[in-house]
């Protein structure tokens, strides 16, 4: 469905970097869910560049909810979020940029949209659009918390520096919620930031790995074969720009294990069934098992760098050289983490509403 994702709870995204608005429509949310403006604002704040290790474009992200809410609660009908693009040249006319920026969507957009794409600031492919995804996901994430389901993402790796693993999930997720630079081990923060700034000083950029934990999902959620929990989550995560890989539990590491190590033993604990390890990331056969759902994504380095790069002009079909000027994010991994939280929340809301019905999110 292109720009709509979800079966029971579905999000439709729209907008371009330099258009009038970006936004999202969330359809299928249960009625009576409380909309917490500060919660949404905080998640948008976490996504915003901080002006030091990120580009200083100052978007206040002053979103408006223009449908689907009344008296501060969802109505059950489509909820629409609008975020104005500020400082945007309102001129409708725009020239197509024909020298492709390497690793961006410039050339592929040309192949798909035949020159009609909005190429100002990356257009529909701009990371800017994730602000709408974050706002929509914030509503979902907040609704899930009211049901005892919590989501947290940290920068597991950046510029080669590793953060520690999750240990106490509840405490770790709570702590992450407040951090502007989301690492579990605070000692990682400065080294990571320094590496980012160092890359920036060279006109270069760095990538990283984001790790997400979701706790509180009941066992028995997921629709194999094709709508397994992993399938739904990965489908959504690859929608986030710069994601080039996803792995659950031990992920690619499991490929090197033997079965006797990889298999998660089951045990009774306080009357509940748990696993002693979580190499399967809380999912067996595509269905949740009640353990934390754990996944990691690979975030590529920001494609925009300030070095001369070989490229082509896709209209004249000639080789070209590109050397961007100005200021851009030398890393986006620390900002993308809240996008990943939001995106995960949308998927989980959808899966649970399919499983337990359209009123589930508002049932007490």
To the nearest whole angstrom, how small is the minimum distance from the Cβ of residue 335 to its own copies?
15
Element (H, E) at 83: strand 79-84
For residue 295, report the phi and psi dihedrals to the nearest 5 degrees.
Answer: -145, 155
The token pair at 169 is 């999930």
DSSP conformation class of 291: S
Q: Which residues of 27-54 are buried (b: 16+ CB within 10 A; e: fewer)?
A: bbbbebbebbeebbbebbebbbbeeebb
CB of 174 to its own copies, least distance (A): 26
Nearer to its own copies, 71 or 87 (CB): 71
Give 60 or 112: the residue with its C-beta nearer to its own copies.
Answer: 112
Tell me how far, at minimum, the Cβ of 178 lies from its own copies, in Å: 25
Taking a C-beta distance cutoff of 8 angstroms, is the pair 345, 29 a contact? no
Instruction: For residues 310 and 134, give the distance between their C-alpha atoms in angstroms, rounded to a whole number.
Output: 34
- Closest distance of CB 318 from its own copies, Å: 6
CA distances from 162 to 187, 238, 244, 266 (A): 10, 23, 19, 29
Q: Among candidates 93, 79, 84, which has minimal Cα distance to 62?
A: 84
Instruction: Indicate the residue among 177 and 248 with the shorter CB distance to its own copies.
Output: 248
Instruction: Pick the closer one to its own copies by CB: 7 or 142.
Output: 7
Task: Tell me whether residue 157 or residue 177 sits nearer to its own copies (CB atom).
Answer: 157
For its own copies, the closer of residues 136 and 177 by Cβ is 136
Q: How far is the CB of 150 from its own copies (least distance, A)?
A: 20
User: Cα separation of 173 and 194, whole Å?
Assistant: 25
Please state the φ and ψ torsions of residue 186, each to the nearest 5 degrees: -60, -25
CB of 336 to its own copies, least distance (A): 12
Q: Rounded to the nearest whole angstrom, what is the least distance from the CB of residue 340 to its own copies in the complex? A: 14
Residue recorded with tokens 């002006």: 51
**Residue with smaller CB distance to its own copies, 51 or 72:** 72
């Amino acid at each position: 469905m292109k720009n709509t994702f979800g079966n029971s709870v579905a999000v439709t995204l729209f907008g371009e970097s330099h258009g009038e608005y970006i936004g999202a429509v969330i359809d299928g949310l249960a009625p009576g869910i409380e909309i917490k403006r500060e919660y949404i604002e905080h998640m948008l704040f976490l996504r915003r560049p901080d002006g030091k290790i990120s580009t200083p474009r100052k978007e206040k992200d002053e979103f408006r909810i223009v449908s689907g809410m009344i008296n501060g609660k969802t109505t059950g009908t489509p909820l629409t979020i609008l975020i104005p693009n500020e400082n945007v040249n309102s001129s409708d006319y725009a020239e197509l940029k024909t020298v492709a920026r390497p690793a961006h969507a410039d050339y592929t957009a040309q192949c798909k949209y035949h020159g009609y794409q909005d190429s100002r600031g990356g257009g529909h492919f701009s990371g800017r659009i994730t602000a709408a995804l974050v706002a929509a996901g914030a509503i979902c994430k907040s609704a899930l918390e009211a049901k005892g389901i919590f989501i947290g993402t940290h920068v597991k790796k950046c510029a080669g520096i590793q953060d520690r693993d999750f240990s106490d999930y509840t405490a770790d997720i709570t702590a992450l919620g407040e951090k502007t630079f989301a690492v579990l081990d605070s000692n990682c923060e400065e080294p990571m930031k320094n590496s980012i700034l160092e890359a920036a000083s060279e006109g270069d950029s760095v990538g990283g790995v984001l790790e997400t934990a979701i706790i509180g999902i009941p066992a028995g959620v997921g629709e194999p074969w094709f709508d397994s929990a992993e399938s739904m989550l990965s489908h959504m995560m690859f929608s986030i720009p710069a994601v080039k890989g996803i792995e659950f539990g031990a992920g690619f590491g499991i490929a090197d294990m033997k079965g006797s190590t990889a298999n998660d033993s089951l045990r009774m604990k306080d009357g509940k069934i748990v696993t002693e390890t979580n190499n399967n990331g809380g999912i067996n056969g595509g269905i949740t098992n009640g353990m934390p759902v754990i996944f990691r994504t690979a975030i590529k380095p920001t494609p925009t760098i300030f070095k001369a790069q070989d490229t082509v002009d896709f209209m004249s079909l000639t080789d070209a050289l590109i050397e961007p000027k100005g200021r851009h994010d030398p890393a986006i991994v620390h900002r993308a983490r809240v996008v990943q939280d939001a995106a995960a929340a949308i998927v989980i809301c959808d899966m649970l509403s399919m499983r337990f019905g359209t009123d589930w999110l508002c049932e007490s």
